[in-house]
Structure 1
Amino acid sequence: MSEVLSGKIREKTGKVATKEVRKNGEIPAVLYGLKDNLSFSVSPSNLKDILTAKGQNALIDLNLEGDKQRKVILKEFQRHPLRELWVHVDFLEVDISKTVKVSVDVHLIGKSAGEKMGGLVNQVLKSIHVECLPADIPQFVDLDVTKVELDQVLHVSDLSLSDKVKILHRSNEAVVTVHLEKVKKETTEEAVIAEGETAAAEDTSNAKEDSTKKES
């Protein structure tokens, strides 16, 4: 089911016009259509409700005053660097019968066994590129890492998605790795080496003492 977003077509564009839109409490937006592009404005609260409920990959019914209803997805958005405000939003019109390529976030679930042993979890891929019909776009992808041990890797092949969604990555591409931090690893290795050297020195010392006793 699509979410509904209402907007007003903007006749004027440019910095002055977009500044006026923001001053009136709305977000300037651009629709990259199948045949034409449109400048318009939307309500921050309306957009926020949709993204909160369905995420950034929501399929949206865009209703613009004086225009036909269009199926769109969020293409890109810009936020204010200091305040929780949207500065600009771009939408992409889609044909629901044709596939689209989008980016989907990967969410890690649980605490890995390796992390509990002092390991560091490194999420190599925070999002993945997929291709599917607009109605089949996943909100995100969950990846359970609880059983991942030290020096283990989870790959793209470990991701679980619907058969309707094609992942645009190599199956052996790393998504998550778990390993000891370099400093800890070096310290551990140095401790092992030092322990070995101490044991060797003690063996040598004992051998010398035995030799001295025999000579005397």
Structure 2
Amino acid sequence: MESINLSAQKRERGPKGFMRTLRRQGMTPAVLYGKEVGNILIQVPTKELEMIITGHSIGSTLINLEVANDDQKEPYLVMCREIQREPIRRDLLHADFFQVVLTEEIETEVPVILVGEAPGLREEGILQHMLRKVTVSCLPTEMPDRLEVDISGLNIGDQVTVADIEAPENVQIISEPDSVIAMVVAPAYEEEEEEDELEEDALGEAAADEGEGEEAGQGEE
């Protein structure tokens, strides 16, 4: 498992509007927490954090967080647990960092990557990637960056589930085994044709019923 570096500074709780001031200065408010450190308020450079988020899976990446406090710097091995963004502009608002203990197992989400080519796609089937992350438990140093699922055996109507994932040694998958990761479904136009046929049948039956009603009415006259 790879690890990357991120600088940080301790911060104090400020008055109303203090968080907005930090963000305008290019810093993202954050918190560092864990059994050994408790809760520490920090701030991290927004550009550095954005680069990490863009280039890595934050749930499966160890971060060497160096927290500056006056003239001292304290290193912490952490993982990013949560990122908050502004809903419209998607600006970073806040981040949570969890201190990692190398000798203790942790649970986190790992990306699921599809590999291979499904034969069903050559039959105009449609591949649906349903589950893009699974929860795993293992030591931090054995956390996989991603898990791969082979879809080269999927025909139309077939699917792969969490149970089909081959996890690395010493890595336990916590997600439900029957959760569907990916499936190949029939082309949409086939469904549309079936719907059109049903609609035509319904219209035909309605017209026949109407004709019978008219004939019955004429007979009564």
Task: Identify the TM-score tier after normalising by the shorter chain.
Answer: 0.7 to 0.9
Deviations 1:36-88 (A, max 9, x none): 11111111222233344442121011111135311110100012333353111
Q: Deviations over 1:119-177 (max 9, x none)?
A: 22222322111111112222222223233101111122322331121101343432112
Please give the alpha-carbon distance, in whole angstroms, between the structure 2 residues aligned to 1:14 and 1:159: 49
Deviates more, 1:174-183 or 1:117-126: 174-183
Aligned twin of 1:46 = 48
> Residue type of the partner of 2:63?
I
Determine which of 64, 86, 90 is the counterpart of 2:92.
86
| 1:153 equivalenced with 2:153 (yes/no) | no
Q: Partner of 1:61 in structure 2?
A: 64
Equivalent pairs, count:
192
Alpha-carbon distance in structure 2 between the residues aligned to 1:16 and 1:10? 14
Note if contact 2:26-2:47 (Cα within 8 Å) is conserved in structure 1: no
Out of 141, 161, 172, which is 1:166 matched to? 172
Please state how far the C-alpha of 1:117 moved relative to its aligned partner: 1.4
Q: Report the equivalent of 1:24.
A: 25
Q: TM-score, normalised by structure 1?
A: 0.77
Gaps of 5+ in 1: 195-216
Contact 2:118 2:155 in 1 (8 A): yes
Contact 2:11/2:42, CA 8 A, preserved across alignment? yes
The one-letter code sitting in structure 2 at the alignment partner of 1:32 is Y
Residue of structure 1 equivalent to 2:76 = 70
1:189-209 deviations in Å (ceiling 9; x for gaps): 987xx9xxxxxxxxxxxxxxx
In 1: Cα distance, 2:101 partner to 2:130 partner? 32
The percent identity for this pair of structures is 27
1:1-216 matches, cutoff 5 A: 1-13=2-14, 15-35=16-36, 36-56=38-58, 57-66=60-69, 68-181=74-187, 184-185=190-191, 187=193
- Give ranges in structure 2 of 5+ residues lacking alignment: 201-221
1:205 counterpart residue number: none
Choose 172-181 or 57-66, whichever is displaced more. 172-181
Q: In structure 1, the residue corresponding to 2:169 is in which secondary structure?
A: coil
TM-score, normalised with respect to structure 2:
0.76
Q: Secondary structure at the match of 2:74?
A: coil
